Amino acid sequence: MQRPKLSLSKPKKIILILLMINVVAFSTTQTIAEKYTPSQIVKEDNKDLDYIEKGWQIVNWSYNLIKYFKKPHTA
């Protein structure tokens, strides 16, 4: 009994690749951002506020990425 081959169409492959690039870029920027957050510099211990702030940064970053790809790019 053979298993059916999983074949993805070209658009699905592109979306999958972009999703993986997005995850890698996010984890890289998060690592860099953790070094320079105000809570690290000032040594604040308010972790709940820090998580909320990072959450809003993620939402803002994702929204700007969506806006960038929705813009018509002219050559």
Instruction: Sketch the domain layout of the chain as residue ranges.
Output: 11-70
Q: How confident is the model at residue 20 (pLDDT cuts 50, 70, 90)?
A: very high
Prediction pTM value: 0.42
Q: DSSP 3-state assignment of 45?
A: coil
Q: How confident is the model at residue 64 (pLDDT cuts 50, 70, 90)?
A: confident
User: How far is residue 75 from each of residues 19, 69, 70, measured CA to CA in Å?
Assistant: 25, 15, 15
